[in-house]
Every structure is written in C-alpha cells, then in structure tokens.
Amino acid sequence: MAIIFFILILTASIIVAIISKRRAGAQNIKDYLTASRSFGSIFIFFLGIGETYSIGMMTAFPGGIYHSGYPFASWFLSYVLLAYPVGYFLTPRIWQLARNTNAATVPDIFRKVFNSRALEITVAFNIILFMIPWATIQFSGLTLVLSGLNIVSSRWLLMLTAGGIVFLYIAISGIRASAYVSVMKDLLVLFIIGTIVMALLKTDNPATLFQIGTDELHNTGISGRQESFAMSTMFFQAIGLPIFPLSCAYLMTARSARTVMRAQIFMPLYMVIFPFMMLIAFYAKYHHLTLTSPNDAFIETVKTLLPPAMIGIVAGGAALSALVVLSGTCLVIGSLVARNLVPGLPEKHQKTTSQMVIMLYIVVSMILATMVPTLVSHLYNMTYFGVTQLLPCFLLAILSIRARPRVLCAGIILGDAVGCGLYLSGIDTLGINPGLIGLVANTAIVFLAGNCQRPQKVRHHAEQEYIVIKENWTDRSLSTSSGS
C-alpha cells in the first residue's frame, strides 16, 4: 500500500511539471532559467521556503534536536528568522540589479556591473565549488529516508530514479517545473507534519515532551565558546541566506521588486512547522526509539505512529523535498557553466549545454553520495563559508560603488581560503565562525585596496538617470532605466 501512494505522488509531480510548460513563454534560455521574470508573490514565497523545506528538514533538523536539544534549535531558528529582515531590504535590490543588467545568473550581474570577465569567472567557480555537495546531500538524505521507511531497497535504483525525475522536470520547463512542483511539495509537507503531530498528540502531552529539552539544557548548560559560535554563525548565515545561489536563482523569476518584497513579508510564516519537528524529535527521545543515528528520529517516529498508507505519502513528500532542491541546484550549476564559463557560446546552444552539464552533475553527485560521505559532509559545512563571500560585491553593486575587479576577485579567494583553512586545520577561533573571519578579511582587502568610489550623478531625466563614473583607473558611462 505504501509503495502505491509513493508512486502516485511522484507521478502527480510529473503531471504538475507538464502543466507548468503550458504557461511557458518563448522557449529561450531566459525563460528556461528565469521564467521571463513572470512569477508573482505566491510562487516566490513557495520557491523561497522550498530550499528549507528540503530533505534535511526531515533528517538533520530533528536529528540535531535529538542530539543537542534547544541549543541547536535556537541557532537554526534564529539565523533563518534573522535572514528575513535582511532579505526584505536586500533581495528587492538584487532583483533590480538583475533586471537592469538583464542577468539570468549571479555572475551575469557582476560581469555587467563591474565590466569584468575575470570577476564573472571567479564568482562562477566560487558558486560551483561550494554548491557541489548540495545535490549529493539530497541524494544521501533521500536514500536514508526511503530506505528507512522500507520504500526502496536498492540504493542505486532509488538514486537513478530520482536523478531521472529531476532531469525530466528540468527538460520539461526549467525553473517553471521547479516552481509548480514546489507548491505541491510544500502543501504536502505541511499535511504530512500536521498528520504526524495529530497522531502524536493522541498519546503524549506536548508539555511533557518539551520538558525533555528543558531538563537537558538545565543539566548541561552552554559554554562560552558554544555561545560565541552560535551568535557568530547566526549573524553570518543570516546575511548569507538572502544571497545564497539557489535563493538568487528563484529571486530572478519575480515579476517586480515589489513582488519580492511582498513575498519576504510572509516568509516567517513557514517557521510554524519547526516546533512540530521538535515535538517529533523529543517523542523519539522520550519513548527511547531505537535509532541507528540521530538522523533517524523522524523516520522511526513515522513508522511508530502512522499506518502503511500514510507512510507512503510521507515517503512521497520526502522525495519531492529532495527533488525540488535537486532540480533548482542543477539549474544553477548548468546555467553557470553554459552562460558564464564556456566562452562565446551562442544563446541558442546554452540550454542544450546546460542540460548536458546537469546530467553530468547528477551522475557525479550520485557517485559522491556512495563513495565519500565524509568529504561531502565537510564540503556541506563549508558551503556558507564560500557563497557568503559574494556579499561585498552585492553591496557595492547595490550602492553603485565601483571597485577594482581584480581586488574583488582577490577578496573572494582570500575569504574562501581563510574560512575553509581555519575550519579544516582545526585552529582555535574562540568559537567565532571561520566563515565570518574570512568575510572580514575579504571586506578588509576590498576596502583597503579596491579604490572604491561612488559614481557622480550629473543629470536626471523623467525616464532615465545618466551616471558618469570618474576613476583614476577607468572611465565608464552607464545608462540605467529607473523604471525597470
């Protein structure tokens, strides 16, 4: 019975992806990657939360609560909540940058704003390097959940099926398929978690379960280094989440800056699900469920509380949680290679090249998921160390401040090296997040050596704003439409 419901959900997702193609515009690379900037606030909202309603929410989050209790919850929930005020002010301006430069990727923006091919390549390689483990983690989590729920026994069969469905989504209509399936997935996840919690409340008092975490915190406490790490990580990841490559890819599909702003206002609503996930983790601990690892807390709770038919629906929701993030990540990687790394590739060939890269990326991710889990885990932990190093470039572009592109490239590389070097070497940073130290080094070199200058606005018109930038190393004039 479980496998039937599981197959029905996956089939329904493919049908939804096919329906999304009916709304597609011209079949060019821009529509494929940005949906011709046609999505309203509802789609932006669901795409925005789709990254967090991923397979990790069903494995890593309850696993972290099971293992570490409230300290883990306070760090995770705080950084995500803090990211939304940052995103409210930052993301509409990033959308405007993309609109003004007619960009479909983040490196597109920086190439046109700073007139630098070197910066474009540096940013593209930076994103690809630190996004490598993202698909691998989805495959690993999906395997963990579905094998734990006894849906699929063969790991390779599962990954090949998942990879095939992801490629099918992408081939059908690109980012549109991800958006439509994301709506289906998020509604399904809310239904699943609600059903689990209703079953849980029939046997247990929530106050009793939450008291477990309170007692643990009282007994163990939090050290100074733990507090330092939590606070610095909250800040670092809160400013990194709005500029995360997957978030930017979804952002570029919006109809307008106001659309992005409206979606950001309602983003905190999706946090309602996490107290329920904490209940599930505490249920597993209170009832002493047998777990192979803390990441099995969600799986074993589902098997204990739900009938076989519902287990199939849970498995379907878990699969979609991984597949949506996989498809978005694949689109990001494919577009970076086709648009930003391959020199002079005509636009009509970019879609085909992107799909070839995506196929290769899926295969490599599946291999990594089975061969080198420890390496992937380290790379996953370092993802924010790398992608957040783009923040100085974003801020300079938003504020219309020019800087030497070579220094911006050096700042990104230095930030990556410092953050990852401190993390891998195990050097004591007094609990401060290594990525934040790398970002400080990055910002310092840009500020000290970047020759940062504001443009001089010399003429205004009702329709256009003409900007002349006077610098001792280059002269350039930019014309941007204030209404676009």
Task: Look up residue 469 and give its DSSP letter.
Answer: E
Helices (H), ranges, 149-268 = 155-173, 175-201, 206-220, 224-240, 245-251, 257-266
Q: Is residue 474 predicted with pLDDT exceeding 70?
A: no
pLDDT (tens digit per residue) in 275-313: 999 999 999 999 988 888 888 899 999 999 999 889 999
- Confidence grade of residue 441 (pLDDT, cut at 50, 70, 90): very high
Structure tokens, 176: 């549109």
Question: Please, what are the domains in the chain?
Answer: 2-392 (1.20.1730.10)
Q: What is the pLDDT of residue 376?
A: 62
What whole-number distance in Å separates Cα of residue 332 and Cα of residue 394? 18
Q: Is residue 477 predicted with pLDDT exceeding 60?
A: no
Q: Which residues 6+ apart lie within 8 Å of 190 measured at CB?
A: 273
Structure tokens, 235: 């800040």
Q: Which helix (H) or strand (E) holds 475?
A: strand 475-481
Q: Which residues pair with 476 in a beta bridge?
A: 469
What whole-number distance in Å separates Cα of residue 213 and Cα of residue 66? 9
Q: How many CB atoms lie within 10 A of CB 198?
A: 11
- Does the global pTM surpass 0.85? yes
Answer with the residue of higher pLDDT: 419 or 58: 419
Amino acid at 128: I
Q: Is residue 362 predicted with pLDDT exceeding 50?
A: yes
Cβ distance 146 to 299 under 8 Å?
A: no
Got the DSSP string for 57-117?
A: HHHHHHHHHHHH-HHHHHHHHHHHHHHHHHHHHHHHHHHHHHHHHT-SSHHHHHHHHHT-H
CA distances from 453 to 113, 234, 400, 411, 450 (A): 14, 31, 9, 17, 9
User: How many percent of the chain have pLDDT more than 90?
Assistant: 50
Structure tokens, 431: 């609990």
Q: What is the pLDDT of residue 26?
A: 60
